[in-house]
Structure 1
Amino acid sequence: MSVFHSGERLVQELLGVEEFANSVGTMIKPTISDRFEAFLNEQNMLMIGSMDKNGQVWSSFIAGDPGIIQVIAPNKIRINTKINEFDPLFSNIEENKEIGVVVINLVSRIRMRINGVISKNSNGSIEVQAEQVYGNCPKFIQARNFSYKPDINKQNKVAYREKNLTQSQQVWINQSDTFFIASSSSEGKMDVSHRGGMPGFIKVFENGSLMFPDYSGNNLFNTLGNIVQNPKVGLLFINFENGDILQLSGEAHVIWEMNDDMLSQFPGAERLVEFQVKEVIQTDTAGYYQWEFIKYSPFNPKAI
């Protein structure tokens, strides 16, 4: 049985990389290796992709002290924290158990993905039964130190929930060098992935749409394969100055052929993705999440 669904296969064949994908795809396993277990047990942040009752897709950020992620079986992890009730993930997993997870260490630039089924424990922690486990290459990851420093006297709060981006949110996105994208196959299988580049690599246009490049990667095309089947995706941005979180849900489509103007605006792009915002959630994290920039990825395309 193939580890790829028909949407991923379609993109691989369209771009002539099916044989390479078949070779790389052998790394996708239903179990967690000893090496991945050691990595997971040391991390303190992760991103989760989920789907709400209306079929909209969201990407969520979860963090805590080291040990927040615990491998409890060869194919299962426990996330030892409660989900904030204002985050879409809280209610989404009551409706749809399929989720995608990416765990990333921005300093070492190591990242791995776990796609599977989620369950909630009576103490508020959650568990993920893995169906697909695999690592990703270190490309386009900006090195940053992350620390989690909760203040028991403060609480996270939703600062903004609307249908459109504010002017300040547009500036935030236009200056971003990192975001995460959650997507789903037509069968509801979830995935979440990292995207990075130099500041300005993702752009907001006057009509409210966003556009970002698809750079050379591992040729599995999990995200694009999902978009081909299901245009609904969720984007997640982190304000690395104050730790605030921006979640966007909407629809995307792939631009396979680029003109000269597109090539000049998005150097290094092999194709583009356009995203139309449907809903926006901005969360004030009360300074829980603190970041220290180290350096940009050496793989980032530079402006022409």
Structure 2
Amino acid sequence: MPKNSKLNTAFLVRNETDLRSQFSETHEIAIKKCLKHIDEHARKFIERSPFVCIGTQSPDGSADVSPRGDPCGFVKILDDTTLLIPDRPGNNRLDTLSNILTNSKVGLLFLVPGFDDTMRVNGHAELTRDPDLLSMMAVNERVPKIAIAVHVDEVFIHCAKALRRSKLWDVDQHQNRDDVPSLMKIILDQTSGAPTDPEEQLRLDENLEREYRQTMY
């Protein structure tokens, strides 16, 4: 724990027994709903999803979560235990891909706009350059360089409580993006420093939007 932490150590939960004592027993159906394959319901959910978060872990144990998005059905279902996720152009940090090479365990969280429930998939992953598989995921005639093949160990539907609490899809809860600095200004503030000239900042913001359009795929 960091030295300047404000947490009271007397109330920290330090073992499984202590943790379990704070909750009632797991409902039997919550255990039985976990499948080891993609059934018809999971298939329909994944085919409708345009967005998935993928969690990985580095060799030193550092956790990472990366969002992936594309048109609905972009995650291909190769068979009942194998998913294929295209890797689209990004910032080339390659955190997710590098982590998979050293620790294949991954966790996926699928969202469908308007659905309050989510789909969770846990498994182990590999990276593939198979041209036949990559060609299946071309967009605007652009083929991804790499795809993440996920071998399913566990799949289950997750209840709607989190999304209902957050009101994620409620338009009345949407916030105005203009109330906070632009992405480019935030990055520059955190690195080399943002320009003080508003017109120069606007130009940089417009350049980023132009880059989005040109390098999406």
Q: Which residues of 2 match residues 203-282 of structure 1 at below 5 A?
A: none
Aligned to 1:209: none
Letter of the structure 1 residue corresponding to residue 93 of structure 2: F
Residue segments in structure 2 that go unaligned for 5+ positions in a row: 1-13, 135-145, 172-183, 191-204
Matched, 1:128 2:128: no
Q: Which has the higher contact order (CA 8 A, sep 6+)?
A: 1
Identity of aligned residues (%): 15
Q: Aligned equivalents of 2:20 and 2:37: distance in 1?
A: 27
Aligned in 2, Cα 1:87/1:286: closer, same or farther, shift over 3 Å? farther
Cα pair 2:36 2:154 within 8 Å, conserved: yes
Aligned in 2, Cα 1:110/1:54: closer, same or farther, shift over 3 Å? same
Matched residues, number: 153
How far the C-alpha of 1:50 sits from its partner, in A, is 0.6
Cα pair 1:64 1:81 within 8 Å, conserved: no
Residue segments in structure 1 that go unaligned for 5+ positions in a row: 1-6, 146-155, 163-241, 243-283, 289-304
3-state secondary structure, aligned to 1:31: coil
Shift >6 Å, 4+ stretches = none
Greater Rg over alpha carbons, structure = 2
How far the C-alpha of 1:88 sits from its partner, in A, is 1.4
Match of 2:93 among 64, 86, 89: 86
Aligned to 1:46: 52
Cα pair 2:34 2:156 within 8 Å, conserved: yes
TM-score, with structure 1 as normaliser: 0.43
Aligned to 1:95: 102
Aligned to 2:169: 143
3-state secondary structure, aligned to 1:29: coil
Cα pair 2:123 2:150 within 8 Å, conserved: yes
Aligned in 2, Cα 1:144/1:40: closer, same or farther, shift over 3 Å? farther
Deviations 1:158-200, CA, capped at 9 Å, x for gaps: 947x8xxxxxxxxxxxxxxxxxxxxxxxxxxxxxxxxxxxxxx
TM-score, with structure 2 as normaliser: 0.59
3-state secondary structure, aligned to 2:49: coil
Q: Aligned equivalents of 2:54 and 2:125: distance in 1?
A: 10
Deviations 1:232-259, CA, capped at 9 Å, x for gaps: xxxxxxxxxx9xxxxxxxxxxxxxxxxx
Aligned in 2, Cα 1:41/1:15: closer, same or farther, shift over 3 Å? same
Deviations 1:23-45, CA, capped at 9 Å, x for gaps: 41111111111011011012111
Letter of the structure 2 residue corresponding to residue 78 of structure 1: L
Task: From the two aligned structures, give the one with the greater strand fraction.
Answer: 1
Q: Aligned equivalents of 1:59 and 1:285: distance in 2?
A: 26
Aligned to 1:61: 67
Aligned in 2, Cα 1:11/1:80: closer, same or farther, shift over 3 Å? farther
Letter of the structure 1 residue corresponding to residue 40 of structure 2: D
Q: Aligned equivalents of 1:77 and 1:98: distance in 2?
A: 14
Q: Aligned equivalents of 1:126 and 1:60: distance in 2?
A: 13
